[in-house]
Copies of this chain bind each other. A is one copy, B any other.
Amino acid sequence: MKPPSEIPHADSRQRLLDAATDVFMEEGYHASVDRIAAKAGVAKQTLYNHFPSKDVLFGEVARRCTASILVPLDGDVSDVRESLLRFGALFRVKLLGDEGLAAFRALIAEVGRFPALARAFYDNGPAQTARRLAEFLERAMQKGAVRRDDPMFAAQMLLGMLGGVERTGRLCGQPGLAAEAEAQRLAHIVDCFLLAFAPERIDR
């Protein structure tokens, strides 16, 4: 009945977490515990051996997702445009990709039930990303590659431009962009940002 090639007595906890991630992302918190156990190929009791309650399981899943959304940003200020393009590409994948959207939807819907979770998600995800980007931009400002302004403000503007309206659309079920349109748009956005934050001209 079980897939035969499956290692018997494999780490149920891990399988449960994986299954729960899938199911919660797909159906939100209201996914049933039975379905999660079934998807993990595990008895319901086993689930309750590992996690005291559905809420705790949901929390674990949320923590895992939160940990996975951070976007790396190399500190290299020598070519700001290039660095921002690399960063932006990854950021947009996290932000506008199906998994990211599903996770966000699932979490957002339960802000009332799990306010602490939502706060943690925001602090360790978007807010953390904004802080890192702000640091990067501050260095770029010090180097004169970017006009001086509040670095956090600048970071928020870039993040808004990168995500903004498209995110709303995707959350409402609109389809995403094709690969080449995506690259074009990313470049367009970054250039637009760099224009807004171009260093003041000395007026030759």
Give the B-binding residues of A (Cβ under 8 A). 26-28, 30, 105, 107-109, 111-112, 115, 118-119, 121-122, 126-127, 130, 149, 153, 156-157, 159-166, 168-169, 171-174, 188-189, 192-193, 195-197, 201, 203-204
Contact = CB atoms under 8 A, between A and B. Distances in A.
Contact of A171 (B111, B127, B160): B111
Contact of A108 (B115, B118, B172, B201): B172
Given A108-B105, A189-B157, A127 B164 contact: no
Contacts of A28: 109, 112
B192 A157 contact: yes
Contact of A121 (B112, B119, B164, B172): B172
B109 A109 contact: yes
Most buried by B among A27, A109, A188, A201: A109
Nearest to A26: B112
A172 B119 contact: yes
A103 to B, nearest CB: 12
Given A156-B164, A161-B161, A163-B164, 18 more contacts: A28-B112, A115-B173, A122-B168, A122-B173, A126-B169, A149-B192, A153-B188, A153-B192, A156-B166, A159-B165, A160-B160, A160-B163, A163-B165, A164-B164, A193-B196, A195-B195, A195-B196, A203-B203
A118 to B, nearest CB: 4
Contacts of A118: 172-173
B156 A165 contact: yes
A26 B111 CA distance: 11
B165 A160 contact: yes
